[in-house]
Structure 1
Amino acid sequence: MTTFASSLKKEIARVARKELRDEISSLRKGSATYRSEIAELKRKLKSLESQVKALSRSTPQAEPARKTPSLNEAPRGKPGRKVIFGAAEFLALRQHLGFTQAQMGKLVGTSSVSIYKWENGQVTPRAAQLQKILAIRKIGKREALARIQA
């Protein structure tokens, strides 16, 4: 019986290999096709990137955009000039003065939540508060502290 069992086992393995060979060959063909398509796409991408790089070198650079005034810059004597609020500059101003958000809110005349939202860029201050912020920028630490205590 052992020779019968071993020959049956060998025959089953041979038939299984034969069946799998057909299916695996179609998978191998598909895999090879995909690899060649991927390689072609990579070549195209590389050539397009080099074209973009060459075009960016050949085109003249545009003039840099004019810098908009921020809280660190005073308006240049032109009344009615629009001043753009900068959240990072406002945070730097508060840290320079050494104030908490509550103290800065008291100095500007608003709540500490408003100061928090201004610093995080969630909200921009209204024109009235913006004028107060511009005025605060011109004073020193001692005068600002005196205004809070008064």
Structure 2
Amino acid sequence: MPNIASVLKAEIARLARKEPRLETNGLRKAVTGYRSEIAALKRRIEQLERQTRRTSKAAISVGKPMEDDAGSPKHRFSAKGFAMHRARLGLSAAEYGRLLGVSGLSVYKWEGGQVHPRASYLPAIATVRKMGKREAASKLEALQA
């Protein structure tokens, strides 16, 4: 017959392993549920962010009026059109820059699309874009004098 003390010790050890397992099973199930809820919320957030980006792009592409709130016209800039106009006038980048009040390097970089001109230069660019060859040449002479 086995020793009662060893049997009792074995039973206590078995129950000691079994009890915490029973108590933690409920917690494990709760944690699993929370993780799945968090994953679902993350997917929903990503979906809403994509939808927001799509609608904001659509709103931009619909078009904005070419005038801001102050009533002054907004000017657009195209590097290709800028370069073509300078070529039509037959001016160097430095001469074109003098007309605008900037350096020739700025004109070169604007034409290449490396940089966009600041908003403060856009009205001057629009003014020069309206000039013809003769008018641009006379304006350059006046600036040199």
Q: TM-score, normalised by structure 2?
A: 0.49
The structure carrying a bigger helix percent of its residues is 2
Query: Relative contact order (alpha carbons < 8 A, sep ≥ 6): 1 or 2 greater?
Result: 2
